[in-house]
Amino acid sequence: MKGLDENAARSNPIDVVLVGGPDDLPATARRVRAPAAGETIKIPHRGGYEHFERERRIGRPEDRETPVFRWTMRTKIAE
């Protein structure tokens, strides 16, 4: 049954906030939908990808704040 729960979490997108990265990343690109179980997000931007990782926060499970993903690096798109 554990596998079913994990698959459901991956297929049910949630709203997340992206923090950091390039200044010219539009505000509309900083609020996205991502899989609930996702730990990383990769956004195409200016011929490359901006990478974000989920921030770890300690809190009670009933706290329902929007997950935050913090910028970690940029990579170029392979040709």
Averaged pLDDT in 10-residue chunks for the chain of 79 residues: 46 90 94 90 95 79 78 92
What pLDDT does residue 51 have? Answer: 97
Give 52's strand partners.
Answer: 41, 71
pLDDT of residue 36: 86
Is the Cβ–Cβ distance between 31 and 17 less than 8 Å? yes
Strand-pair category, 13-19 with 68-76: parallel
Task: Measure the CA dihedral 56/16/21/7, to 10°.
Answer: 70
Going by C-alpha positions, the residue among 47, 46, 43 that lies closest to residue 72 is: 43
- Residue 14: name the closest of 70, 71, 73, 65 by CA: 65
